[in-house]
Amino acid sequence: MIDLKKENLKKFWTPLRIIIGVGLIAVLLWRFNVTTILTHIRQLTFPYTCYACIAYLLFIVVSAWRWQVLLDHKRFTIPFTRTIVIYFIALFFNNLLPTTVGGDVMRVVYTMEKRRADAFATVIVDRILGFVGLFMFALGAVVFLIIDKHQTEFLPFIVIGLIAVILITYVFFSERAYSTISPVIGKIRVFRLGERLNHLHEAATDFGGAWSVIILCVIHSVIIQALLAIAPFFVIRGMGNMDISIVPFFIYVPIINVISMIPVSLNALGVREYSYVLLFERAGLHGETAIAVSLVSFFLIFTLSLLGGVSFIFFRKGSNSAIADRSKEVK
């Protein structure tokens, strides 16, 4: 009965997210001049497009490096070149599948060998520390807004998010803190979720005392957010806008990344573009320009993720059936 309800919810939720995303884009195209948006996109110059692609490539490399640090701590014997390839594959599946965890599943599939819990732990910790870096960067942006423009509307949202992520991190890493809730979690029988969470915690506890690893990964996360802000800045420069500085991108892009985490639409389609319009108008950017920058930025990173699709075809660990079997195990 539970499985049936879950499947019905999935069948309903995914199309709904697609409809919401398409609807938001349709409203934006109705409100703003489509011809102007296309003109901005056509004005994009090749050199600045390359600069933006380099920034996104560095984002992928640094993200893979952060995960490599965690893999090394768990003594996985995986070379960095392979980690980068696996990360490209994960990015491809993140963009391809209607769920944001598709890429995480692929990362586990390609690394778990006989250590599924450890592989899960590295991916989950990588996610958590990524969120810590994201909210720290966003908090810095909000503090700048408070000091420079006396705007406080984003502060509660970012502070609550950062506190929640830090609390989750503490409970997840701390044996003492987790022991208080472990008996309750262990009673969750649905899909053996309680048992799996307890096993996952056991695999992740040794990260709790590895402060050098945690600090290094948080630094990676901050650099990642900076690169994700620099790339769309190159895009707008490529469209011929030389008036806007890079500062608004460091302020607003992290906030947009936080908003895009809300699973309202597929791949944040429409939500991201609306956020660009609403936030960058504060920097004097016209709506058409903001939409063009958002769409081009997403298209560039989506295009780069296609390298992961090619890698998935030629860079396999075992046969297709073996990978499929492992995917089912992970799920």
- What is the pLDDT confidence band of residue 9, given thresholds at 50, 70 and 90? low
Mean pLDDT of the 119-142 span:
85
CA 173 – CA 125 distance, rounded (Å) = 9
Number of domains, the chain: 1
Domain region containing 204: 2-330
pLDDT confidence of residue 220: 95
Q: Which residue type sits at 138? A: A
Q: Which of 277, 283, 324, 296 has the alpha carbon at shortest distance from 24?
A: 277
Rounded percentage of the chain residues whose pLDDT exceeds 90: 31
Cβ neighbours around 263 below 10 Å, total:
12
The DSSP output letter for 287 is H
pLDDT at 295 over 90: yes
Mean pLDDT of the 273-288 span:
89
Cβ neighbours around 162 below 10 Å, total:
19
pLDDT confidence of residue 194: 63
pLDDT at 3 over 70: no
Q: Whole-prediction pTM value?
A: 0.82
pLDDT in tens, 229-252: 999 999 999 998 888 888 889 888
CA 262 – CA 17 distance, rounded (Å) = 11
pLDDT at 77 over 70: yes
pLDDT confidence of residue 216: 93
pLDDT at 97 over 70: no
Contact call for residues 276 and 286 (beta carbons, < 8 A): no
The helix or strand, by DSSP H or E, that contains position 296, with its residue range, turns out to be helix 287-314
Query: Between these two residues, 100 and 30, which has the higher pLDDT value?
Result: 30
pLDDT at 221 over 50: yes
- Of 7-16, 297-306, 317-326, the one with minimum mean pLDDT is 317-326
Query: Between these two residues, 227 and 95, which has the higher pLDDT value?
Result: 227
Residues contacting residue 87 through CB under 8 Å, at least 6 positions apart: 60, 63, 64, 67, 107, 308
pLDDT in tens, 141-189: 888 878 877 777 777 877 887 888 888 777 777 777 777 776 766 666 6
Contact call for residues 104 and 228 (beta carbons, < 8 A): no
pLDDT confidence of residue 98: 57
Cβ neighbours around 4 below 10 Å, total:
8
pLDDT confidence of residue 155: 78
pLDDT confidence of residue 7: 54
pLDDT in tens, 250-276: 888 988 888 887 777 777 888 899 999
pLDDT in tens, 115-128: 777 888 888 889 88
pLDDT confidence of residue 140: 83
CA 275 – CA 298 distance, rounded (Å) = 14
* Cα R_g (the chain), whole angstroms: 21
pLDDT confidence of residue 8: 55
pLDDT confidence of residue 201: 67
pLDDT at 111 over 60: yes
